[in-house]
Amino acid sequence: MSNGILVLVEQVKGEISEITYEMLGLGRRLADELKVPLTAALTGGGVAGLAGQLGAADKVLVVDSPALNMAPAATLAGVAGAAAAQCQAGLVLVGGTNVSLGIGTILSLRTGLPYVNFCKAVKVENGAVVATSLLCGGKILSDVKLAENRGILSIYPGAFPAEAGKSDKSPTVETLAAPVEAPAVEFAKFIEPETGDVDITKQDILVAVGRGIQSQDNLALAEELAQALGGAVCASRPVIDQNWLPLSRQVGKSGMSVKPRLYLALGISGAPEHWEGMQGSRLIISINTDPKAPIFEGSHYGACADVLDVIPALTEKVRARKA
């Protein structure tokens, strides 16, 4: 028998990740539509206190064990399986993040539940859950209907609003005595990123550069523009990979998530991994020579032009306007 939706809570260093709220928001909506309960499985060491933040769920199952902090996917999948069995959940939501990588796949093998990756949208159509996944660098969408509404969905970060998952309500909290597999992988330590001079997540205005900036020398142009605007320079992965800017300036799936008031995407194609990091920006203006660049799909404004031409002109005009 299967009813109920289970959200696998992701927490890192004692903080609930954004993806968890995104999943809770989605889970809440689906649970309300399907009229089934929504449970959250909270795992980790010393995490009981976090349960109160998961009010969007009806119930929180807590498995408190230090071995579960940064545990390998196999171990977490084992606990997730126990939680799913406990609350008789047929639909499991797991984060499509690096932290949660593998849990969904392993759980799928162990329970036989189908696993759907990269879910960007989930809807209920005639009582059936249909998950839409984003594939091939954002160029293809596919719809999968879950048989009997049973399955494991890996949720694409940033695809669903986190606000919908935050709630003042207090959920029922239960401790789950799930057997914890001895982790085959030992977690040694965290390595913090070098604190860059600038915390781009705190900036209101970001001038983002991608391959279109062409050479390290041209970064100076972007710096000038950022200065004129009162913001900071950040970059997509290709620029960081070339070591033109430090890791602390990277925006994207493996970099920072930013939500500035203005995100100027200059010479950035807009691959999903980058998009993930800045989709929440209030105003997105993109410049790229390729009229088919995916970045234009989600931007508010755009222009098909060479950033090396536009940046200096823009800097001049911004300065003139401010003066």
| Residues within window 265-294 making contact with other proteins, judged by CB under 8 A | 283-287, 289
Q: Any bridge partners for residue 133, and if so which?
A: 119, 142
Q: Of 60 and 284, which CB lies nearer to other proteins in the complex structure? A: 284
Binding-residue pattern over the window 27 to 56 for other proteins, x denoting contact by CB under 8 A: ------------------------------
Residue 36, phi then psi, degrees to nearest 5? -130, 160
Separation of alpha carbons 129 and 127, rounded Å: 7
- Report 62-81 residues binding other proteins (CB under 8 A): 70, 72-74, 77
Measured from the CB atom, is 32 or 290 closer to other proteins? Answer: 290
Residues 213-242 contacting other proteins, CB under 8 A:
215-217, 229, 241-242
Dist. CA 119–CA 121, nearest whole Å: 6
- Residues 132-171: x where in contact with other proteins by CB under 8 A, - otherwise, as a string: -xxxxxxxxxxxxx-----x--x-----------------
By the 8 A CB rule, do 234 and 249 touch? yes
Which residue, 5 or 60, is less far from other proteins as judged by CB?
A: 5
Nearer to other proteins, 168 or 197 (CB): 197
Question: With 0-12 CB in 10 A as exposed, 13-18 as middle and 19+ as buried, what is 227?
Answer: middle
**Contact status: 262 vs other proteins (CB under 8 A):** yes
CB atoms within 10 A of CB 46: 11
Q: By three-state DSSP, how is residue 37 classified? A: coil
Region 95-134 residues binding other proteins, contact defined as CB under 8 A: 97-99, 101-106, 108-110, 114-118, 130, 133-134
| 254 belongs to the binding site for other proteins (CB under 8 A) | yes
To other proteins, the closest distance from the beta carbon of 75 in angstroms equals: 10
What residues does 92 pair with on adjacent strands? 6, 152
Report the alpha-carbon distance of residue 239 to residue 235 in Å, rounded. 6
Q: How far apart are CA 68 and CA 22, in angstroms?
A: 22
Q: Closer CB to other proteins, residue 31 or residue 229?
A: 229
